[in-house]
Structure 1
Amino acid sequence: MNKKSFLNKLIYLLGSKLRNPTLNIAYNSLKSTEFASESELKDLQNKKLEELAAFCYQYSDYYKSIFDTINVNPTKKPFGIEQLQKLPILEKSTLISKNKELHTLNKFDFKKVFYCETSGSTGQALTFYRNEEWDSFNRASIERGLSWYGVFPWDKNGYFWGFNFSKAKVLKTKLLDFLVNRFRLFSYSSKELDLFLNKCKKAQYVEGYSSMIYEVAKLANEKKISITNLKLVKGTSEKIYPYFHKETLKAFGCKIVSEYGSAESGIIAFECPAGNMHLNEETCYVECIDGQAVVTNLVARSFPTLRYALGDYIELSDGKCVCGRQHRILKEVTGRIGKNLIGISNKKFPSLTLYYVFKNLAVNFNIELAYRCEQRAIGKLDVFLECSPNPAVQKLLINEFQKYFSGDMEFQFNYVDSIQVKGKKMKDFESYLD
């Protein structure tokens, strides 16, 4: 290790020790169970769930009321998965409306908490406090994922995030980035892009919004710039579409690896080098109910969330991964639970219909399209495609649409250079109907 690398590591470790005193404990704990057996992971989950339920009953007014309603006292009787499934599913609207009752700050004295604010994909503003141990497990979960690729958090890294910051925030962010050996893309201007890509040639990994990684990869390929030294390209906060990988493999020599989670639930899954997303079972318990993700955060104490409906459609797998990790596999995050599409007859169609239309096109005809859809009028759907007009492909696409909509929807096809809407998270469907 050279002097610069040693200094970067030292700065990171000192900063982490000040901000997260229990980070190293959390990381070592996660690494010790990385190859635990399926039964060992289940036992660990049950133990953590029992401790969490007892804590919630004692310190959260909201959960005290819920447990009393279903006549369960987790401080007196064992509490496991069977008892957990008796609890009502928690919606984001409840996190907002019962925010004070859910928090345990007024009854339990945490040594340190962090203020968090998120609107997520739903647009609903949520604020809460994350206790230090919970925050440490969240950061340690990310560090464990990085370790699977031979990457350390103090390694030089690029960040695809924050291109719409104000000037004041840019200065503050650049200072923080310097301390953690990070550089960041603030805009898509040619000058900024060339500078960022040049720095990538000395980085170990890059991460950020998946759609931004895809957009930059396309621009790099147009400039015929190839980065061959990266160990990891990590996508967060957005769905990773299959067509993203073609561009990133060409530009960065890596596909986008998925890190799946939320501010409220922490890191839920991380993709291993074998290509499977493993659930972070030491910190959360995941249920798939009617195709929807329902998550219990096992390490949160200041703002506990038991059986929280995350707002995503998912698919779990019972298969085993060749990497040897026994953590359950999150096969796919199929899409966000959002507004319905409304047909000419006012019939409602789930937005997930679009996922199956384009998946069928990819599976049956080997045609992968970058797409985004909008509905601004009943019975009419605007389809934006990131490609040149192709009558044959459009005909195939219309046939797939008709299988699901049966003539109850009209389609307007728009061929664009980029489906990304500047300053917004990537969504495959947006409804503007009241």
Structure 2
Amino acid sequence: MHKIIYKIGVKTRNPSLNKWISFLNKTQSWSIDELESYQLKKLKELLLFAYQYSPFYKEYFDKNNVDLKEIKSLDDITKIPILEKQTLLNNINEIHTKYVFKKTLKAITSGTTGKSLSFLREESADSFNRASIFRGYSWYGIKPWDRNAYFWGFNFSLKDKIKTRFLDFIQNRFRVFSYNKKSFLPFIKRLKKVKYIHGYSSMLYQTAKLINEQKLETPQKLKMIKGTSEKIFEVYQEEVQKAFGLKMISEYGATESGIIAFECPEGNMHINMEGCLVEEIEGEVIVTNLQMKSFPIIRYKLGDYIELAPKNNTCSCGKEHRILNDITGRVGENVYGKNEIYPSFSFYYIFKNILKNDNLKLSYQVLQNNKGFLEFKIGQELTPKELTIVNNEIKKYFKEDIDVTIKDKVKFDNSKGKFKSFISTL
């Protein structure tokens, strides 16, 4: 039944989806040269289209003396200025192209950085993005209509709950609406029939912990566990592997950029090269959406720190798509000492070093309400020796400029949407 519902939905909402799925199944075996050749072709098309139909980009290119005839290789994209998020937010109407598409769909970003964005995405671009996700699913033997469980934010009104339950039904999925044990334990029992679980990685981790604590039966049909929107800590993997017999894989993307990378069964995050062009500049990700023309995203500073693997890095899965080694944190979140300012991705390296040097896997959250003071919340119980290890590693980065308190055995509240590893009220 759900396969039929899926096909009806595709025909109605995403008529070009099957075309894109077929295309991406073919291109996943392309060589890196073929992929880059396709990227260059799409880039040239996008730039010409944006210049012709977007009032913003016409003025933007002219003002910055961008000659589109000079874009002859992918490296030439650096001749185009980087687009900052505030510039994009200030020019939403002008960025939209004046071309009349047969069908457009409204897209809204989550606004987790405090700045939500709403724009129109043409059906072809929307279908391409869905096809990119489904291609990743196919690597794990998942069909789009398979039974699945979804962990996402759920601060809904009654009206929104009813709407959400309907949408979940037609997508053959279910989710938990409350984290009290009375409703959560029956939810876990329903996992027995699902093929995949996806959503916030912190929620997946908490589910795995509860399964392990209660010694509940592991789902037998499960093929994939996908974490999105949050960092996947190493300590998460230990609990998830124990509970489900599978590791949690990662999907990386954004509403405006589309799917940027998807993890293959060999553990590498392959960049969705057919859909986007990714640059790493001073550790920051700069992304160009190659498929969306209704609202062009060109050299956009997305707001994440990343680590892009060298071009000659290969994967045993056989795909030659570039590899994204890691997403190390959000840009623009400063840590304030008594005298100095530090980037928030310092926390990423602190806990990475603790894992590497001391094999100590920790989940954490850092709070700052006053300059020169940080509160570290650790999900695990620390021995006196482990507490010293954490203190010493923190001190390497902040020395005497920041006073620190550490609380262990903290139960994080995962019921209010996306989990943030650093929260500052300054």
TM over 0.5: yes
**TM-score normalized by the length of structure 1:** 0.95
* Distance (Å, rounded) in 2 between the aligned partners of 1:8 and 1:194: 26
Find the partner of 1:300 among 282, 288, 292: 292
Q: Which residue of 2 aligns with 1:216?
A: 207
Instruction: Give the secondary structure class of the aligned counterpart of 2:291.
Output: coil
Q: Report the counterpart of residue 196 of structure 2 in structure 1.
A: 205
Q: What is the alpha-carbon root mean square deviation over aligned residues?
A: 1.4
Structure 1: stretches of 5+ with no match in the other structure: 1-6
Q: Which moved more, 1:154-163 or 1:372-381?
A: 154-163
Find out whether 1:340 has 2:326 as its counterpart: no
Amino acid at match of 2:114: G
Per-residue Cα deviation, 1:112-140 (whole angstroms, up to 9, x for no partner): 11112224331112111111111000000
Paired residue for 1:127, among 104, 118, 135? Answer: 118
Matched, 1:268 2:260: yes
Equivalent residue, structure 1, for 2:15:
21
| Percentage of pairs with the same residue | 49
Asked whether 1:427 is paired with 2:420, we answer: yes
Residue equivalent to 1:4: none
> How many residues of Structure 1 are paired with residues of Structure 2 in the alignment?
423
Question: Deviation of residue 73 (structure 1)?
Answer: 4.2
1:201 is paired with a residue whose SS is helix
Q: C-alpha offsets along residues 217-262 of structure 1, whole Å, 9 cap, x if unaligned?
A: 1112111112232100011111111111111111122111101000
Stretch deviating more after TM superposition (414-423 or 94-103): 414-423
Q: TM-score by structure 2 length? A: 0.96
Q: Is the 8 A contact 1:49 1:79 kept in 2?
A: no
Q: What residue identity is the alignment partner of 1:400? A: E
Question: Contact 2:278 / 2:285 at 8 angstroms: preserved in 1?
Answer: yes
- How far did residue 40 of structure 1 move? 0.3
Per-residue CA deviation, residues 151-182 of structure 1 (Å, 9 max, x unaligned), is 00101111112332222211111112111111
How does 1:17-166 map onto structure 2 within 5 Å?
A: 17-74=11-68, 79-104=72-97, 107-166=98-157
In structure 2, distance between residues paired with 1:216 and 1:290: 37
Question: Which stretches of structure 1, 4 residues or longer, exceed 6 Å deviation after superposition?
Answer: none
Distance 1:222 1:163, change over 3 A: farther
Q: Which amino acid aligns with 2:386?
A: V
In structure 2, give the amino acid aligned to 1:27.
I
SS in 2 for 1:85: helix
Aligned match of 1:358: 351
Matches within 5 A, 1:148-297: 148-225=139-216, 226-297=218-289
Kept in 2: contact 1:149–1:231 (CA 8 A): yes
**What's 1:413 paired with?**
406
TM-superposed deviation, 1:389: 4.1
Partner of 1:3 in structure 2? none
Provide the residue aligned with 1:375 in structure 2: 368
Q: How far apart are residue 71 of structure 1 and its match? A: 3.1
- SS state at 1:194 partner: helix
Q: Which has the higher contact order (CA 8 A, sep 6+)?
A: 2
Render the CA deviation track for 1:292-314: whole Å, top value 9, x for unaligned.
01000000111101011111110
Unaligned ranges ≥5, structure 2:
none
Q: 2:316 aligns with which of 296, 309, 322?
A: 322
Aligned equivalents of 1:397 and 1:237: distance in 2?
A: 26
**In the alignment, is the contact (CA less than 8 A) between 1:294 and 1:308 conserved in 2?**
yes
